[in-house]
Amino acid sequence: MVTQITSFGRSGLYDWMMQRVSAITLSLYTVFIIGYLLLNPDLTYDQWSALYEATWMRVFSLMVLLSIGVHSWIGLWSISTDYIKATGARFFFQSICGLAMFVYIVWGIQVIWGL
């Protein structure tokens, strides 16, 4: 039996909801970026920089970064509990995934906020 100790949420329903909310956030960001690129065909560095200097865009980008972390953790946790039956191997895989996501999120925060 697989325990919920490494699951993101409190229950399967909570994980399912977080997966859907993060997917919607990622979709909205993708649509926004594609729309921005289509509406600004002669985009310059200054325009792109001004977009990402706006606080609302930094917050939106941070939400997307955290959504990527949540979405990928839940997905990888589900895959690892379904397909990796050995507890040690599953723990190792989940530890590597968790460490990679932590590094990417910290790095992303530094990039977005210029820390």
Q: Which of 62, 49, 48 is nearest to 109 (CA)?
A: 62
* Residues contacting residue 38 through CB under 8 Å, at least 6 positions apart: none
Provide the CATH number for the domain around residue 73. 1.20.1300.10
Residue 45 marked as a ligand binder: no
Is 1 part of a structural domain of the chain?
no
Residue 52 marked as a ligand binder: no
In tens digits, the chain (115 residues) has pLDDT values of 555 555 556 678 888 899 999 999 999 999 999 999 999 999 999 999 999 999 999 999 999 999 999 999 999 999 999 999 999 999 999 999 999 999 999 999 999 988 6
Q: Which two tokens stand for residue 10?
A: 């409190």
The reported pTM is 0.83
Angle of helix 55-83 versus helix 45-53 axis, rounded to 10: 80
Residue 77 in contact with residue 94, Cβ under 8 Å?
Answer: yes
> What is the number of structural domains in the chain?
1
